Amino acid sequence: MTLVSPLQHVHKKGIFGDCEDNNAKNLIKISEVKNLLIFQIVQYKKSNISLKDIKIDELNLNNEAPKVTFNNETRILWISPNNWLLTSKKQELRANINQIFNETDFAITDLSHSRAVIELEGENTKEVLKKGCPFNFNELNKNTCINSVFNGITITIDMMDDSPNKVRLYVLRSFGESLYHSITDACLEFGYKNI
Amino acid sequence: MLHIKCPHCGLRSQNEFSYGGDATVKRPELNKEVSDQDWDNFVYLRKSPRGKHLELWQHISGCRQWIKVERDTLTHEIFTTLKANEEI
């Protein structure tokens, strides 16, 4: 069976927007992140288990907003109290997750096929996000994440790097194409490169 | 446009929140006889104060948690925000 990615029909490689006078390095790079393992982890209110005892891919669950715990391949995003989004390129984690998280303490939901993931990279990334999102992006630091809205679409933003700015946007799969068009429209004035 | 300080996430735009009504309304106790009048008051009767008002809001596009907000209905000034299980 062939995997159909959420943005397969809209994301075309090339250079677009106002890019004539722009150095190729200044263009915003847009890519779709595919084959990402995405799990929602929720700790039940009645659970007494200590989070220090739980490690997945050598990472702890951090209940401090809006921190991201991470290593090279896995990132655990704080979504809300006792609620995390685990993203990883390691597909083998899928088998471990149900062993690590006890059914009586955690609700685990596989969201890998129900999210579209767009990655933006470039100096003007925050300027693009400011166009549709009411959050003050001057306060968004490296390795933090937020939930917010972009042109009315609920999104999760993971700030992966700040030199240059690199963010991942997680959105419901069904809203993926709408968000993609909103983002690319907002990128036009800076010029962007789809990769 | 209001800016509401979510006790979980920090200062956010009103766009991310959904209004949830009066936070001072108490549900009649379970398993006790409730008169039609008391039930009617609980379901429908709301004050419309001019000034400080304790309200429920949900951070629907953020952490999805319900919070309490003490807001001035006249000036829209927000005095305090609390987690849903906290009291002023």
ipTM of the complex: 0.89
Assign domain B3-25+38-83 to its CATH superfamily.
Folate-binding superfamily (3.30.2270.10)
Task: Give residue A3's pLDDT.
Answer: 81
Mean pLDDT across the stretch A48-65?
A: 90
Nearest residue of chain A to residue B62 (CA atoms): A147
Q: Which tens digit of pLDDT belongs to each residue from A102-115?
A: 999 999 999 999 99
CB contact under 8 A, B8 and A135: no
On whether any CB of chain A is under 8 Å from the CB of B18, the answer is no
Residue in B36, B33, B37, B2 with CA at minimum distance from that of residue B16: B2
Which of A65, A148, A149 minimises the CB distance to B8?
A: A65
* φ, ψ for residue A43, nearest 5 deg: -90, 130
On whether any CB of chain A is under 8 Å from the CB of B73, the answer is no
**Percentage of the residues of chain A whose pLDDT score is greater than 70:** 99
Higher pLDDT, B16 or A2: B16
C-alpha–C-alpha distance, residues B80 and B22, integer Å: 15
Mean pLDDT across the stretch B47-74?
A: 96
Q: Which domains does chain A have, with CATH numbers?
A: 14-34+115-194 (3.30.1360.120), 37-110 (3.30.70)
CB contact under 8 A, A81 and B15: no
Q: How far is CA B26 from CA A76, A192, B45, B53, B70, in A?
A: 38, 54, 12, 15, 17
Task: Give residue A1's pLDDT.
Answer: 63
Q: Against a cut of 0.95, is the pTM above it?
A: no
Which of A66, A80, A134 minimises the CB distance to B13?
A: A134
C-alpha–C-alpha distance, residues B82 and B64, integer Å: 14
- Listed by start position, the domains of chain B span 3-25+38-83
Best of B6, B11, B63 to disrupt the A interface (most A CBs within 10 Å) is B63
* φ, ψ for residue A184, nearest 5 deg: -70, -35
- Chain A contact set for B62 (CB, 8 A): 80, 146-148
C-alpha–C-alpha distance, residues A193 and A188, integer Å: 10
CB contact under 8 A, B65 and A80: yes
Are A116 and A7 contacting, i.e. CB atoms less than 8 angstroms apart?
yes
Are B23 and B68 contacting, i.e. CB atoms less than 8 angstroms apart?
yes
CB contact under 8 A, A80 and B8: yes
Mean pLDDT across the stretch A93-97?
A: 89
Q: Does residue B40 sit in helix, strand or coil?
A: helix
Are A150 and A156 contacting, i.e. CB atoms less than 8 angstroms apart?
no
CB contact under 8 A, A79 and B63: yes
Amino acid at residue number B44: Y
DSSP E strand boundaries for chain B: 3-6, 10-13, 18-22, 52-58, 66-72, 78-83
CB contact under 8 A, A147 and B9: yes
- Chain A contact set for B8 (CB, 8 A): 65, 80-81
Are A83 and A42 contacting, i.e. CB atoms less than 8 angstroms apart?
yes
